[in-house]
Amino acid sequence: MRYQLYREHKYVSSALNDLERLIAKTDFRNPQEIILVEQTFQSLTDMLNGHAQYENDRLHTLLKNRHSKIHEHAEEDHAHQDEQLLKIQGIINSISNAPTDEEKVSIGYTLYLTYRKFVADNLIHLHEEETMLLPELQRLYTDEELKQVEAPTYKKMTPEEMIGMMKVLFPHMNPSDRLAFLSDIKEIQPEKFNAAWHGIAPTLSQDEQTSLSKQLQILS
């Protein structure tokens, strides 16, 4: 199997869907519940912006460097995503400003419909990246070259930051994904690996710790 990118999409998809379920259940007459939607939306926005920036800067640059144009539609999607996020933020603001409970509930339903459509568009975007951009990257670059995509990130990160990242991502992934992240850290930043492994290992099942130790050749 070729080297994979976009594994973090499993987390992105889960975060998008979690907020859709939260909005679906929110009582928009209750200010505390609106605040929770607002805060969850803000952290989702930060995560989506960071993710799009990473893809534009790292992955699309690789494609541009080999004269591919396949990323152009995905890059338009990223710009469209900014507009959609602003529109959703505007709807959230107008719920708090609505004078009656009836209006708050009515705008809340508009928020639900608009956000659910945004999730649908975004899931198609993730699909396009994994089924069109990834094969093109794999065609144009070797596995060793693709592995270097994460090198600058891991070089900058402390072991604590690596543990924090894995704690966020790993619950949404399978053992092969977790092995891929840990193998990359071990290969790219071997001096940080021990601390990163000891921080994340206790969050995994005993069976997975044993199997990963073997696969990563960790001496106990």
Binding residues (CB under 5 A) for Fe ion: these are 55, 129
Kindly state the smallest distance separating residue 126's Cβ from Fe ion, in Å: 6
Residue number with CB closer to Fe ion (72 or 102): 72
d(CA 208, CA 142): 29
Kindly state the smallest distance separating residue 78's Cβ from Fe ion, in Å: 6
Copy the structure tokens of residue 209: 């710790």
Residue number with CB closer to Fe ion (27 or 57): 57
Residue number with CB closer to Fe ion (129 or 150): 129
Kindly state the smallest distance separating residue 17's Cβ from Fe ion, in Å: 15
Residue 141 CB-half CA count within 13 A = 26
How many beta carbons lie within 10 A of that of residue 218, not counting itself?
A: 16
Residue number with CB closer to Fe ion (12 or 212): 12
Kindly state the smallest distance separating residue 81's Cβ from Fe ion, in Å: 8
Kindly state the smallest distance separating residue 55's Cβ from Fe ion, in Å: 5
Residue number with CB closer to Fe ion (24 or 120): 120
Q: Output the CA torsion sign for 180, 1, 128, 63.
A: positive
Kindly state the smallest distance separating residue 95's Cβ from Fe ion, in Å: 28
**Among 214, 109, 153, CA closest to 8:** 153
Name the strand (E) or helix (H) holding 1: none
Q: Which residues fall within 8 angstroms of residue 38, CB to CB, at 6 or more apart?
A: 92
Name the strand (E) or helix (H) holding 211: helix 206-215
Copy the structure tokens of residue 29: 């007459």
Helix, coil or strand: residue 204 = coil
**Among 195, 191, 160, 196, CA closest to 181:** 196
Residue number with CB closer to Fe ion (55 or 150): 55
